[in-house]
Structure 1
Amino acid sequence: MSSTAAASRAEEPTRATFPSLDAEAFARELQAVRTEVEASLTPEDFSHFRKMERWGRVCSVLGYATAWIAPNPLSALLIAQGNTARWTMMAHHATHRGYDRVPGVPERYTGRHFATGWRRFIDWPDWIHPDAWRHEHNALHHGRTGETADPDLVEFNTEWLRRSSKPLLVKYAIVAFFAFTWKLTYYAPNTFLEWRRAERRREGVPDTGETPELATAFNPLHADGRAFWWTCVLPYAALRFVLLPALFAPLGLWAVFSVFANSVLAELLTNLQSFILIAPNHAGDDLYRFEGRAAGHAEFSVRQVIGSVNYATGGDVVDFLHGWLNYQIEHHLWPSLPMSKYREVQPRVKAICEKHGVPYVQEGVFRRVKKLVDIMVGRTSMRTLES
C-alpha cells in the first residue's frame, strides 16, 4: 500500500452503534463486582505487591552483579526488566492508590507518598517525574481515555506521521526510533509539560488551550525546557549512567565501562519492552476513540472497555512479564484496585461484557503491537461511535 493510499484510508474510521445496549444495567453489574472486590481487600494483596517488587529487585541486582564482567545482553535484559517492573507494576499501581485501602500498608506505599521527595530515587528512579505522571496519566489519561483530549491517544499524537508522504519503510524506522527511546522522547516530556501547564493554571495563569509542543521540553532557552532538564533528564542520567557505573571503580576501568555500556543497552531495552506493553493498550482498528466527554458514568464504563485491550492472562510469571498491563480493561474500569484483584475479576468482567454485547478485546501482545504500528503509520484507523 502506498503512503498516499494509507493516509486516505486513515481518514475513514469505522463507525458503529450499540442500539440494544443497556448501558445503565451494564454499569450496575460492574459496580456490584467492584463493591464486592473492594470489600475483600486483605493484607495478602499487599504481600503480593511486595512479591512482585522483590522479583523486580532481584532482576536489577542480578543485572548489576554481572554487568561489570563485560557488555552483554543478559545483564542488560535483567536491568531492563527491573526498570520496567518499577514503572509498570510498582509505580503504576501505587500512584493510582491501589494499595491505600489495603489493611496494614505502610505509608510509603500509598498514593500520596510513593516516590515523593528523596524517595523518588528509591521507589521509582526514571526519566518521568512521579508528580508529572500522577497528573498526566492518572488524571488526564484515565479521565479522558480515548478522547481527543487524552494526551496519550496514539492515533491523534501520530497524525503527523500517519498523513506523511514518507515511504512506509521510513515510517517504520521512525516508529522504531521512538520505541527504543520513548520514555525520554515522549513520556517524560509529555507528562512534564502537562504537569507544568496544570501548575500554571493553579497559579492563575490563563491557559491558551493549546497542547504543549514536546520540543519545548528540550529547549534550554525556554523556562519549561530548563526545568525539564534539571528535574527529569539530568538527575536520572547522573544516577543511571554516572553514579552506578562509578560504584564499580574499585574493580577497574573495564568494569566501569562494562556497567555503563550495559546500562545504555538496558535503557534501550526497557524502552522497547515498555513500548510493547503500554503503547498498544488503547490502539488498534478494533478499538474505539471518542470525540467528546461521556454523557455519564454508564457510558464512561462502556468506553473504558471498548477503548482498551487485554493481553494473555495467567499466573504471576505471565503477568509479571506483561508488567500487569495485560488486565488493561479491568484496570481502566477500576484503576485503584491492587494488581492481584485484576486477575480475580477478569473472568467476571468478560462475562458481563459478553452478556450485554460490549466488545471485549483480548489478544496476544505481539499481535497488538502490529495493530498499534498500523495505526501509527496510517495503514488503519481507530473505530468511532455514531452520535
Structure 2
Amino acid sequence: MSTAVASRAEDVPPAAFPSLDEEAFARDLQTLRTEAEASLGPKDLAHFRKIERWGRVCSLLGYATAWLAPNPLSALLIAQGNTARWTMMAHHSTHRGYDRVPGVPARITNRHFATGWRRMLDWPDWIHPEAWRHEHNALHHGRTGETADPDLVEETTGFLRRSSMPLPVKYAIVAFFAFTWKLTYYAPNTFLEWQRAERRRAGVPDDGASPPLITAFNPLRAEGRAFWATCILPYAALRFVLLPALFAPLGAWAVFSVLANSVLAELLTNLQSFMIIAPNHAGDDLYRFHDRARSHAEFSVRQVIGSVNYTTGGDVVDFLHGWLNYQIEHHLWPNLPMRKYRELQPRVKALCEKHGVPYVQENVFRRVKKLVDIMVGRTSMRTLDARGR
C-alpha cells in the first residue's frame, strides 16, 4: 500500500446513522447511570483497595529482587506497578471516580490524591498530576475525537502521516515513541496545555496555538525551566538516584542492578501504557469529529463511536489492561469506579445493538496494529460532523 494518507470519505454515507434516535439512546444510558450511582458502596471501595494492593505488591516484589542482577522479571514487576499507579489509581481517583463512594478516605478523592507532598507517594511519574487533570480530564474528555482533542492520534502524528519517509523509518519512529512516550509526549503535552490554561486564567493573551513539545525541554525558556523543575528532575531523582541508592549497603553491584532494572522498567511501562492507551481512540473503524456536538445526546453517541474496548473479563485481565479495556463505558461516565464499568459493559453493548450504535471491541494487539496504521498514514479515521456527515 502507498505510504500516502488513505482517504475514507467514501466510507461515510450522507447520514451515517439516519435511523438513530439520539435522545432515546441518551435516556437509556441515563437509566444505567442512575442505577450505577445508586449502587455505589463498600464493594467499590474494597475493590479499589484490592487493585491498589496488587500494584504495590508488583512494585515491592520488583524491587525486592532488582538488586540481585539486571533481569526482565524484576523490571516487568516494577513496570506493572508503575502502570497500575497511573492507569488505575491516578486515572480513576482524579476523575472523581470514588468521591461519592460512602466511607471513601480523603486520600483517594480528587481533591487530595497526588496533591502537594502526596504526589511522590500516590503517583510518582514524569506527568504532573495537575497537568494531567487539565489536559486529560478537561480537554481530552471534553473534546474526545474532535480536532481540538490534544490526544487525537491522527492529528498529533500528522507530521509522520504526511511524511514521504519509507515505511520502515516511520515504524522505527513509532517504536521510539512507544518506548519513551510518557517523557517525550505525555509529560510535555500535559504540562504545556496546563501552563497555557494558567496563563489564560491570569489574563495573558493566547494565540490559540499549542506550542511545540520541544519547548518543554528547552531550559532557555521559562516553560522549559519549569518543566525540568516540576516534572523531569523530581521523578528522575526518585527513580534513578534515590531508589538505587537505598541498596548501597548491599554493594555497588546491587546499586547498579537496581538502576539497570529501573531503566528497563521505564521502557517497559512506556510500552505497556502505549499499547493500552494510545489505541483507545484510533483506527479506521472509529470516528473523529471536526466540530462540537450539538447536544448531550449527540455527545454520548460520539463517546461510543469514537472509542474502542478491548477484551474484558475478571480482575486479572482488567488489571493487565490497566482497566482501559472499558474505554467506551469510561468515556460515557468518567466519574464512576472501576468495578462499575465491568458491571455496565454488557448492558451498554446491548443498548448500542438496540439503537444501532456501532460498538467496537477487539483484542488489544489488533487495536495496536490499527493504531500504527493510523500513525504512519496507511489508513485514516472515519469523519463525522454535527450534521451526521
* TM-score (normalizing by structure 2): 0.98
Q: For residues 258-312 of structure 1, what are the alpha-carbon distances to aligned partners after superposition, in whole Å with 9 as ceiling and x for unaligned?
A: 0000000000000000000000000000000000110010000000000000000
Q: Answer yes or no: is the 8 Å Cα contact 2:147–2:289 preserved in 1.
A: yes
Mapping of 1:137-152 within 5 angstroms?
137-152=136-151
Q: Distance in 2 between matches of 1:86 and 1:147?
A: 28
- Report the counterpart of residue 200 of structure 2 in structure 1: 201
Q: For residues 360-384 of structure 1, what are the alpha-carbon distances to aligned partners after superposition, in whole Å with 9 as ceiling and x for unaligned?
A: 0000000000000000000000001
- Report the counterpart of residue 18 of structure 2 in structure 1: 19
Q: For residues 119-152 of structure 1, what are the alpha-carbon distances to aligned partners after superposition, in whole Å with 9 as ceiling and x for unaligned?
A: 0000000000000000000000000000000000
- Report the counterpart of residue 181 of structure 1 in structure 2: 180
The amino acid that maps onto 2:93 is A
- Report the counterpart of residue 211 of structure 1 in structure 2: 210
Give SS of 1:384's match.
strand
The amino acid that maps onto 2:107 is R
* TM-score (normalizing by structure 1): 0.98
- Report the counterpart of residue 2 of structure 1 in structure 2: 2
The amino acid that maps onto 1:2 is S
Give SS of 2:325's match.
coil
The amino acid that maps onto 2:72 is P
- Please provide the CA RMSD for this pair: 0.9
Gaps in structure 2 of 5+ consecutive residues: none
Q: Answer yes or no: is the 8 Å Cα contact 2:145–2:287 preserved in 1.
A: yes
Q: Distance in 2 between matches of 1:136 and 1:125?
A: 18
Mapping of 1:1-387 within 5 angstroms?
1-3=1-3, 6-7=4-5, 9-10=6-7, 12=9, 14-16=11-13, 17-385=16-384, 386-387=388-389
The amino acid that maps onto 2:71 is N
Q: Distance in 2 between matches of 1:356 and 1:273?
A: 34
Gaps in structure 1 of 5+ consecutive residues: none
Q: Distance in 1 between matches of 2:20 and 2:113?
A: 40
Give SS of 1:145's match.
coil
Give SS of 1:327's match.
helix
Q: State the shift of 1:211 in Å.
A: 1.4
Q: Distance in 2 between matches of 1:2 and 1:134?
A: 39
Q: State the shift of 1:76 in Å.
A: 0.2
Q: Distance in 1 between matches of 2:132 and 2:22?
A: 31
Q: Answer yes or no: is the 8 Å Cα contact 1:158–1:376 preserved in 2.
A: yes
The amino acid that maps onto 1:370 is K
The amino acid that maps onto 2:166 is P
The aligned length equals 384
Q: State the shift of 1:11 in Å.
A: 7.5
Q: State the shift of 1:12 in Å.
A: 4.8
The amino acid that maps onto 2:111 is R
Aligned structure 1 segments of 4 or more residues deviating by more than 6 angstroms: none
Q: State the shift of 1:207 in Å.
A: 1.2
Q: Answer yes or no: is the 8 Å Cα contact 2:188–2:216 preserved in 1.
A: yes
